[in-house]
Amino acid sequence: MTKLTIVKIGGNVIENEKDLRQFLVQFSKIQGDKILVHGGGKSATSFAKKLGLSPKLVDGRRITDKPNLDIAIMTYAGLLNKNIVAGLQQNSCNAIGLTGADANTIESEKRPVKTIDYGFVGDVKKVNSNNINALISAGFTPVFCALTHNGSGQLLNTNADTIASEIAIAMSSDYEVELMYCFELQGVLTDINDLNSVINQLNAKSYSEFVEQGVISDGMLPKLENCFNALNKGVSNIKIGNTNMISSDSVRCTNIKL
Amino acid sequence: MTKLTIVKIGGNVIENEKDLRQFLVQFSKIQGDKILVHGGGKSATSFAKKLGLSPKLVDGRRITDKPNLDIAIMTYAGLLNKNIVAGLQQNSCNAIGLTGADANTIESEKRPVKTIDYGFVGDVKKVNSNNINALISAGFTPVFCALTHNGSGQLLNTNADTIASEIAIAMSSDYEVELMYCFELQGVLTDINDLNSVINQLNAKSYSEFVEQGVISDGMLPKLENCFNALNKGVSNIKIGNTNMISSDSVRCTNIKL
């Protein structure tokens, strides 16, 4: 099968212009078919503040009301996505920026209200891999932001990590998919206070041991649950580390396999 | 040759939610290949005001400085474009939202400074019709907003009327192109105070006579110059009128031919 590389970048890369520029050069050099997924939460928050809106949090979870959805659309699909696309074009990467509504690539449904109403937040229902395939076959590099749609005209805010893993799963029927989650660290740490304590290899067995021992906890748990879910559903290989890992296999990072 | 319909809508349709919704239903029903181009100047202006930015005008021409470019990107490529795309998807039209940077569809260059520096404003240099064709062939309906790029990472603000006519010209080597400019009136008027004084047919000869007599003037002049330029360069047919003309040939509008 043909190889497909999916890279997810978060706020730390996007919000520093120099880091972003450098990343876009690296990303453009990836051989073969590729997809970029980006978040951008901090940009939206700081922009909302400028407009006098405060982020709505319930039990520490961000609530997306209508004004905050509009801001997400403006920053994610507008400012961030389009500047990334223009930056990739500068590096001869024929990028095309997308929300899940564009080319009907990602359908979602508003998260059901149990104890919390998250507002305009969508859980992925279906990734239309045939439409993403059509774009890739036409020579384009899809660049997804963290927005999906419900098919009834409503855009919805969706976690970028989840978008990346759901796309990876859907594409794995046609491709050998490698998924790379870039963040500020070199990988998953055994000691949060020691940046050198990177776990080089994680599999389902060692992961559950680390969780049992309390070595891996908090924010890394949903990220890694996402990873193992993707591996179980056909994704070949997942890496977590900083952006340098996309340029070279010798850069330290956490390799995750089943 | 296959027929391609290109529709350009302006601020008056976009800024009224009910009108926009109705238009998207009409547009979705157009048979065959189609492209939508939208402006959105008023949204950007009112949004800039919210942020405490005043529009910069020199000699009555809008200047696009960096903050105003960012606002254009957020409103045109973000809020307006993505809501239009989601609305078309709702009507089973497989829309894909684009700036000229996306899929490298429209390259431009920063307008040269003569007496006025327009800032981040781009004049169209090249429409890459092969990339637009690839999207249409894959079954997508391109939805363009009023932004282009210079190929060196810079997004530029570009007049939506011009984008529509430049796309129409570029696509006319592969398609029989009909271009429709929708605005608030039923067509070009002979008397600005009489909404019924619509000119049904305009050709190069009658146009120059109307201009000589001072019947057509002001804002309609650049619009119509755009039209005749497009017709001279291969576009088959151009109509100017309100959005109802896209649903039926019997709706009154101004038909422009060479």
User: Which of B74, B80, B106, B125 has the most A C-beta neighbours within 10 Å, making it the best mutation to test the interface with A?
Assistant: B74
Check: CB of residue B86 under 8 Å from CB of residue A155: yes
pLDDT of residue B50: 81
Strand partners, B63: B56
Asked whether the CA dihedral B233, B238, B243, B245 is positive or negative, the reply is negative
ipTM of the complex: 0.95
Angle between helices A204-212 and A220-232 (to 10 degrees): 160
In angstroms, the Cα distances linking B195 to A116, B179, B244, B253 are 53, 23, 16, 12
Residues in contact with A17: Cβ distance below 8 Å, sequence separation at least 6, in sequence order: none
Contacts of residue A139 in chain B, CB cutoff 8 Å?
134
Check: CB of residue A145 under 8 Å from CB of residue A157: no
Q: Mind telling me how many Å the CA of A18 is from chain B's nearest CA? A: 13
Total beta-carbon pairs less than 8 A apart between chain A and chain B = 126
Q: DSSP string spanning chain A? A: --EEEEEEE-HHHHTSHHHHHHHHHHHHT--SEEEEEE--HHHHHHHHHHTTPPPEEETTEEEB-HHHHHHHIIIIIIIIHHHHHHHHHHTT--EEEE-TTGGG-EEEEEPP-SS---BSBEEEEEE-HHHHHHHHHTT-EEEE-SEEE-SSS-EEE--HHHHHHHHHHHHTTTSEEEEEEE-SSSS-BSSTT-TT-B-SEE-HHHHHHHHHTTSS-TTHHHHHHHHHHHHHTT--EEEEE-GGGGT-TTS--EEE--
Check: CB of residue A40 under 8 Å from CB of residue A214: no
Cβ atoms within 10 Å, residue B46 = 11
pLDDT of residue B11: 77
Tell me the pLDDT tens digit for each residue of A179-229: 999 998 999 999 989 999 999 999 999 999 999 999 998 888 888 998 999
Across the interface, of B97, B138, B153, the residue whose CB is closest to A138 is B138
A140–B138 C-beta distance less than 8 A? no
Strand partners, A179: A6, A238
B89–A149 C-beta distance less than 8 A? yes
Residue of B nearest to A84 (CA): B153
Work out the end-to-end distance of chain B between its first and last CA atoms, rounded to an integer number of angstroms. Answer: 19
Asked whether the CA dihedral B48, B50, B53, B55 is positive or negative, the reply is positive
Give the ranges where chain B is alpha helix by DSSP (H): 11-14, 17-28, 41-50, 66-72, 81-90, 129-137, 160-171, 204-212, 220-232
Pairing of strands B141-144, B95-98: parallel
- With DSSP H G I counted as helix, E B as strand and the rest as coil, what are the percentages for chain B, rounded to 5? 40, 25, 35
Tell me the pLDDT tens digit for each residue of A233-255: 999 999 999 999 999 889 999 99
Q: Mind telling me how many Å the CA of A84 is from chain B's nearest CA? A: 8
Looking at per-residue pLDDT, the higher value among A115 and B166 belongs to: B166
Q: DSSP string spanning A90-119? A: HTT--EEEE-TTGGG-EEEEEPP-SS---B
B82–A99 C-beta distance less than 8 A? yes
d(CA A132, CA A206): 34
d(CA B64, CA B118): 6
B102–A151 C-beta distance less than 8 A? no
Residues in contact with B75: Cβ distance below 8 Å, sequence separation at least 6, in sequence order: A74, A78, B40, B43, B44, B47
Residue A117 clears pLDDT 80, i.e. is over it: yes
Residue of B nearest to A154 (CA): B86
Residue of B nearest to A76 (CA): B78
Check: CB of residue A95 under 8 Å from CB of residue A81: no
B140–A103 C-beta distance less than 8 A? yes
Check: CB of residue B234 under 8 Å from CB of residue B172: yes
Rg of chain B on CA atoms, in Å: 18
Q: Mind telling me how many Å the CA of A235 is from chain B's nearest CA? A: 26
B90–A102 C-beta distance less than 8 A? no
Strand partners, A57: A62
Q: Is A99 on the interface with B (CB under 8 A)?
A: yes
Predicted confidence band of residue A49 (pLDDT cuts 50, 70, 90): confident
Q: Profile chain B (258 residues) by mean pLDDT over runs of 10 residues.
A: 96 87 97 95 80 78 88 95 98 98 98 93 97 98 98 96 97 97 93 94 95 88 92 97 92 95
pLDDT of residue A41: 66
Q: Mind telling me how many Å the CA of A184 is from chain B's nearest CA? A: 25
Task: Show the beta-strand stretches assigned E in B135-221.
Answer: 141-144, 147-149, 155-157, 176-182, 201-202
Check: CB of residue A46 under 8 Å from CB of residue B37: no
Q: What is the DSSP letter of B241?
A: E
Average pLDDT over residues A151-162: 96
A83–B78 C-beta distance less than 8 A? no
Q: Is B104 on the interface with A (CB under 8 A)?
A: yes
Q: Mind telling me how many Å the CA of A15 is from chain B's nearest CA? A: 15
Across the interface, of B74, B98, B103, the residue whose CB is closest to A74 is B74
pLDDT of residue A11: 77
Q: Which domains does chain A have, with CATH numbers?
A: 3-256 (3.40.1160.10)
Asked whether the CA dihedral B227, B230, B234, B240 is positive or negative, the reply is negative
Q: Is A195 on the interface with B (CB under 8 A)?
A: no
d(CA A79, CA A145): 11
Across the interface, of A86, A151, A154, the residue whose CB is closest to B149 is A86
Q: Mind telling me how many Å the CA of A244 is from chain B's nearest CA? A: 22
d(CA A204, CA B155): 45
Q: Is A138 on the interface with B (CB under 8 A)?
A: yes
Q: Which residue has the tokens 């080089």?
A: A200
Contacts of residue A134 in chain B, CB cutoff 8 Å?
138-140
Q: Is B6 on the interface with A (CB under 8 A)?
A: no
Q: Is A74 on the interface with B (CB under 8 A)?
A: yes
Looking at per-residue pLDDT, the higher value among B50 and A129 belongs to: A129
Contacts of residue A96 in chain B, CB cutoff 8 Å?
96, 98, 102-103
Q: What is the DSSP letter of B78?
A: I
